[in-house]
Amino acid sequence: MDSSIKEEVPVHEEFILCCGVETQVLKCGPWTNLFNEQRANRPKLLIFIITGNPGFCSFYVPFAKTLYSLTNRRFPIWVISHAGHALAPKDKKILTTSDDSNAQEIKDIYGLQGQVEHKLAFLRTHVPKEMKLVVIGHSIGCYISLEILKLAPELPIIRSFLLFPTIERLSETPNGRIATPLLCWLRYALYVFGYLLLKPWPEKIRSLITRIGLQMMNVQYEFSVLNILEPFCIANAVYLGGQEMMKVVERDNETIRAHLSKLTFYYGTMDAWCPTKYYEDIKKDFPEGDIRLCEKKLPHGFIIHFYGEMAGMIADWLKDDLSKIEALTHGSVTDS
Ligand SMILES: *[C@@H]1O[C@H](CO)[C@@H](O)[C@H](O)[C@H]1NC(C)=O
């Protein structure tokens, strides 16, 4: 990947109030408010990324930028944080929309179903109805993407990519077996640890430690990453993780069947959150589906070091869909 190309890609960081909860949204491309654009000038499609847990969108920026470049900068790409996984820095303004004040309070918004409702509320208030959507889910973001397809059939989702999907039998996976007791039973111990040990540290120190840690791991980031050591965000990520272990049990065959033609599954070969057995099982149940097994040994957390490979594949799979949409766009330009 040519890094000089990626550097020029504009990315805006926004904190918005969604369902009354501070939410970080990173927007790749020149469009920040799609409603401000004249209808004819609006992009025809939005690529929407739903992260894994924890939902630190900053980590998805190199992936989003690369995909943006590879799709010829024609379509905005947005990444949304999970509710409660990001707090705005003190000096950052939190944007509100009048629609949000009408949004009904979501029960248990930091839980798994609450996070689904949170994404739905965002799409309904921040994306014009006629805009087509490509939804890219990663890890638990895949479960959320399927729920969105099920609960909001009115949304014009033309394609959904489910990357390293954790959509079934999560607590039986190698990592799930370790995480389940840790997240469910030791949750309170983890809270106490977070609040007692991390809370007293001044923000500057936490930020310094986070930065050093990320540098040592050679992780790129550009936007607020302070939340990694923010007890409130850790507690919410742990809470969501615990719910995932309990609630992601049976694969939702009905939703998968109903939307199979839009779905592309990408399973890893060394994914401790999703063994290749699950790939074989789903492949057997849906032989006609676009269900792929990774041939590049990408890790579950591809976004850190393998975002280029993943973005390249997605751009490729999207080519036909996007050229159809571009044909429509050019059509309307010559008409006017
Ligand atoms: C979906 O199919 C699998 C395998 O056939 C089955 O084990 C699972 O229980 C099904 N899920 C639901 C919700 O029925």
Domain extent listing, the chain: 3-173+252-335
For residue 247, the CA-to-ligand 1 centroid distance in Å is 14
**243 CA distance to ligand 1 centroid (A)?**
20
7, two tokens: 């550097």
* Strand partners for 267: 293
Residue 1: the pLDDT is 47
The single-letter code of the amino acid at 242 is G
For ligand 1, say whether the CB of 280 is within 6 Å of any of its atoms.
Answer: no
Ligand 1 pocket, 300 CB below 6 A? no
Please count the residues of the chain.
336
pLDDT at site 328: 74
User: Which residues of the chain, if any, have pLDDT below 70?
Assistant: 1-7, 99-104, 197-200, 217-228, 329-336
- Give me the pLDDT at residue 245, please: 94
The answer regarding whether domain 3-173+252-335 maps to CATH 3.40.50.300 reads no
**Is residue 97 a contact partner of residue 126, using CB atoms and an 8 Å limit?**
yes
Specify the pLDDT at position 218: 66
Would you please indicate which residues are annotated as catalytic (active-site) residues?
Answer: 139, 271, 300
pLDDT for position 38: 82
Would you say the CB of residue 251 lies under 6 angstroms from ligand 1? yes
Q: Is 250 in the pocket of ligand 1 (CB under 6 A)?
A: yes
Tell me phi and psi for residue 17, to 5 degrees: -95, 115
CA distance linking residue 112 with residue 107, whole number of Å:
11
Pick from 257, 198, 278, 262: nearest CA to 232? 198
Residue 334 is predicted with a pLDDT of 42
Among residues of the chain, what percentage have pLDDT more than 70? 88
Distant-in-sequence, close-in-space partners of 42: CB < 8 Å, separation ≥ 6: 31, 34, 128, 131
The whole-model pTM stands at 0.90
